[in-house]
Structure 1
Amino acid sequence: MSEDIAVTKFREYLRVNTEQPKPDYHACQKFLYSLADELGITRTSHEMVPGKPIVIMTIPGVEPSLPSLIFYSHTDVVPTFKEHWTYDPCSAHKDEHGRIFARGAQDMKCVGSQYFEAIRRHFLRGKRQFRRTVHLVWGPDEEIGGRDGMGKFVDTDEFRTLNVGFALDEGLASENEARAGKFWRKCANLGLQAFEVIFTGGTGHASKFVENTAIEKLHKFMDCALAFRAKQKANLDGNPDLHDGDVTTLNITVIEGGVQTNVVPEKIVIKVDCRVALTEDFYELEKRIRGWCEDDGVTLQFRSKSTMRIVTPTTRDDPWWAALEDVLDEEGCPFTKEIFPAGTDSRYLRAKGLKAIGFSPMINTPSLLHDHNEYISESTFLRGVEIYEKLIERLADLA
């Protein structure tokens, strides 16, 4: 049985290894250029930092003075632990059930591919132009904050010439049919996004009761941090009306220190990821975290901090939202409007006053972004192409 070209090209894209921390952006750009060249789409690239290209495919509109559309996706993916995968995460293996296993299958090479394949279908039907200009934008480094990609690009003349009016970005998979992807109204939980705590103390032979150790100070910090985390989780679990993006999450993600088993470590460094809910007071939370670090020999350093509270409208009086909602209703795609529980590059667009919505058409699919054995089914992927085919046309032809 022959495979739909959309699936074939998607699997080829998945095989381009863009895994952090050493994504092969050169190979990725070459692949994306080959896609654009297949359809005769103008493509350019811009590097804010050498070796980290933003690739832009542009379909000029009939009325180019109208604000344009960005259909955005990031090209990098998070690291994998191959020993926990059934199939090689760069193989894009398709099993007998039509499930395509690869890093990026959900987050978010599927969405970028669905945009492009929707455009391919329009071109095959003979529609090679819309009322508004359409830009397919492929950005680097989103998985490590996007500062060298979209974070810098939005401040350039090249970005301003795009004349952006509205953008779509990624959402999340939904494990049932009641939520055809997740919509988000804000780049949520981006308050004190990332910080580092350094603990220093006494050292010596591990056979001794060394006083004032870094480990003791770490233990005190963890007691406070985990108690806060447990309270947030209890709030989420105790209220069925709340979703992940409605509470503040805090996780210790990296612990570094020690030299060998018989030496008490003089220094321990931890890294913490904290996503701040809209209802949380950023400054009070920062004050609380600093209180956990008041001991001598404890240093707090913020690596990424944002206090944005920018919300994209999701009401019928907004023409972008109304058009999007109409398409989903027509396609029989129930949805919920939720706060996205992570950070995406759309926060840089919102910071410039632009409207952006996140959506990934993945239903009946377990959310496996950043997890082992990430996959999307062939049928779900192709259904997403159909939805974007209609969605792109409706938005791009909006008066």
Structure 2
Amino acid sequence: MRSQSSSIALRVLEELIKIDTRNPPGRTSEAVDFLENVFSSYETRVYEAEEGKENLVVEISKGKKTLMFNSHLDTVPAKGILLNPVFVDGKVYGRGSCDAKGCVAAIVEAFLNFEPEVGVKLSFTADEEVGGKLGLDYVLEKERADYVIVSEPFGSDSIGVAQAKVYSVDVIVKGSSGHTASADVKRGAIYKASKLIVSAVDFFSSIDRRDLESLQKLLEVPVEIRGRGVAAFNPAIIEGGVKRNVVAEKCVIKADVRMMPWISEEEIFSKLIDKDVELIVQGVLKPYGISFDGVDLNEDLKFFEIIKSSIASFGLKPKATVSLGVGDIRHARKRGIPAFYLGPKGENLHADDEFVYIDEIFRVAKIYRKIAEKLAEIT
């Protein structure tokens, strides 16, 4: 075990884990001050959409095209003890080590004292864990970028190319009311809702993955699923009933529903509805990713090829990844900017034992440099 390292990347990671950026409240000012000091010889700009939620942009080099490397400073909640970083067996443990302060460390390792012949900006942002509106979304209102890499812990050989569409759904189940002593509980709304939940979870988890083949053909690399499938139904909140001895006539399932961009929501939602079930969509997050949004496909493929060949130059076999999770690439892609995920692999993100692999930090840093060099060659 060790607490210090001679490497700038690991010193940065160690100090960032110690800085409390748990969200809520997600205050990033101290982390931004620390990184400003690390990049004290560079031009820096701070953007603050809300007090305490600071975002830092570092201007590394200027050129005809600008490549932005981004990662976020806020983390999910945690016990205070997890703000004490632990180095052991080639891993760094602690809140944010994996998601995403190890990613910040990789960006620092790549570009501190390295200025490629292309425009490069680094952005370290707030509020990704709660949507990124005050983070990268706000920064991109102020800063120009032609291409964006969002550093998330996908792994050095894995390019995150697409993310799910997400629905906030109320599933309203109706049943027959009555007294426990005389009514048929199986005709009540809660019993019916329980059966619907089991059926929906099983159905969503069984949806076929074969549509990955068209994406593999387009990208000419293997495509993998990050997570537990291509669709998910999470009955997150269940409300129903008025009294212990009364069979409920109504039950509301507040569900988080996710599916890959190519899946038809009409077809899936039709499986949830019958004569006693009403479905109300409360909110929608559109899908984002290569060939699934308004970003120019030729520009997307050009940037993807640069990333793919940069990974391959280090003897790795690049692959593309699609995920039911959502993150900050959408803030770039909704502006028409090609954007993908690429960052050092870790495990157990959001768990008490999350960690990042140390060798991944340095491997990804080299890939970042190579991407910038290759972009400089064609611009």
TM-score by length of 2: 0.78
Tell me the CA shift for residue 101 of structure 1: 0.5
- Tell me whether 1:112 sits opposite 2:94 in the alignment: no
Residue 149 of structure 1: aligned partner = 135
Query: In the alignment, is residue 74 of structure 1 matched against residue 72 of structure 2?
Result: yes
| CA shift in 2, pair 1:251/1:77, >3 Å | farther
The reply to whether residue 223 of structure 1 matches residue 222 of structure 2 is: no
Displacement of 1:51: 4.2
In 1, distance between residues paired with 2:150 and 2:173? 39
Which range moved further: 258-267 or 2-11? Answer: 258-267
Alpha-carbon shift at residue 359 of structure 1 (Å): 1.1
Deviation by residue 1:68-124 (Cα, 9 ceiling, x = unmatched): 1110112222234x5xxxx932211112x23210122222221122112211142xx
Query: Which stretch has the larger CA shift, 112-121 or 22-31?
Result: 22-31
How far apart are the structure 2 equivalents of 1:318 and 1:258? 49
Q: 1:322 aligns with which of 305, 320, 338?
A: 305
Assess, with a 3 A threshold, how the Cα gap between structure 1 residues 5 and 338 changes in structure 2: closer, same or farther.
closer
Matching residue's letter, 1:17: D
Q: 1:228 to 1:259 in 2, by over 3 A?
A: closer
Tell me by how many angstroms 1:245 deviates: 5.8
1:136 lines up with 2:122 in the alignment? yes
2:59 maps to which residue? 58
Q: Distance in 2 between matches of 1:203 and 1:361?
A: 55
- Identify the match of residue 280 of structure 2 among 300, 304, 313: 300
Contact 2:174 2:276 in 1 (8 A): no
For residues 58 and 89 of structure 1, the distance between their equivalents in structure 2, rounded to whole angstroms, comes to: 32
Deviation of 1:374 after TM superposition, in Å, equals 0.8
1:156-305 mapped onto 2 (5 Å cutoff): 156=141, 158-159=142-143, 162=144, 164-173=145-154, 180-185=156-161, 187-189=162-164, 191-197=165-171, 215-232=190-207, 243-244=224-225, 248-252=230-234, 254-255=236-237, 257=239, 270-289=253-272, 291=273, 295=276, 300-305=280-285
User: Match of 1:78, SS?
Assistant: coil
Match of 2:112, SS? helix
Aligned to 2:47: 45
Shift of the 142–253 alpha-carbon distance from structure 1 to 2, 3 Å rule, reads farther
How far apart, in 2, do the equivalents of 1:287 and 1:307 lie?
20
Whether contact under 8 Å (1:252, 1:270) holds in the other structure is no
How many residue pairs are counted as aligned between the two chains? 360
Q: Percent identity?
A: 21
CA distance in 2, matches of 1:9, 1:262: 55
TM-score by length of 1: 0.74
CA distance 1:217–1:335, shift in 2 (3 Å): same
State whether residues 16 and 101 of structure 2, in contact with CA within 8 Å, keep that contact through their aligned partners in structure 1.
yes
Which has the larger strand fraction? 2
Return closer, same or farther for 1:317/1:148 CA change in 2, 3 Å cut-off.
closer
Supply the RMSD in Å over aligned alpha carbons. 3.8
Stretches of structure 1 lacking an aligned partner (at least 5 in a row): 123-128, 175-179
C-alpha distance in structure 2 between counterparts of 1:138 and 1:265, whole Å: 53
Distance in 2 separating the partners of 1:134 and 1:198: 50
Query: What residue identity is the alignment partner of 1:44?
Result: V
For 1:57 and 1:206, the matched residues in 2 are separated by 66
d(CA) in 1 for partners of 2:55, 2:210 = 40
- Unpaired runs of 5+ residues, structure 2, are 212-221
Matched to 1:24, the amino acid is R
> 1:27-64 CA deviation, whole Å, 9 max, x = no partner?
33333333332x333222141x4543332222341x3x
Q: What is the alpha-carbon distance in structure 2 between the residues aligned to residue 351 and residue 233 of structure 1?
A: 28
Alpha-carbon distance, 1:206 to partner: 7.9
CA distance in 2, matches of 1:140, 1:199: 39
Verify the 8 A CA contact 2:197 2:235 in the aligned structure 1. no
Structure 1, residues 182-220: CA drift from partner, whole Å, max 9, x if none? 2133x322x234334466889999888686755234314
